[in-house]
Amino acid sequence: MAQQTAMAVGPLEAIGRLAELVNSDRSLVHRGRYVTNDIMIEIGNVSHYVRIDKGQIASLQRGPLLMHSWSFAIRGKEQAWRTFWQALPPPFFHDIFALAKRGEFRIEGDYKSLMTNLLYYKDVIAAPRRLAKETC
């Protein structure tokens, strides 16, 4: 009865669907209604600039973009993102801070911005888990 979880799509496709996943989640958008910010998510060596406006993903641009600012960035290897975005990630791959402690993710920039709305950001970043499929 052991179940394995796997990504239905790759990490680069999953991040491309982030706006759809977040904006369709009414409770998540409501929780972030006071959040307007620019963040950066790096998968491998590919940067993605996420503009959040009142809890919704207003835009997502693939980089690198010169002179594009962000308040904080989360950087990790493609395999770390793939594991993090499983429906049920294994221990130590379930949380951005656990991955940072393992050296799989780097979190840089304005920690005050991140910590002020931590639960909102964690749920935004974990939204692609809904794309994972259960396999037996």
CATH of the domain at 49: 3.30.1050.10
Q: Tell me what the pLDDT averaged over the chain comes to.
A: 90
Number of domains within the chain:
1
Residue 9 is predicted with a pLDDT of: 74
At 135, is the pLDDT very low, low, confident or very high (cuts 50, 70, 90)? very low
Residue 24 is predicted with a pLDDT of: 96
54 part of a folded domain = yes
Expressed as residue numbers, the domain containing 119 is 4-127
At 134, is the pLDDT very low, low, confident or very high (cuts 50, 70, 90)? very low
Q: How far is residue 129's CA from residue 30's CA, in Å, rounded to a whole number?
A: 20
Does residue 72 contact residue 114 with C-beta atoms inside 8 Å? yes
Residue 8 is predicted with a pLDDT of: 62
Radius of gyration (Cα) for the chain, nearest Å? 14
41 part of a folded domain = yes
78, pLDDT greater than 60: yes
Mean pLDDT within 1-18: 72
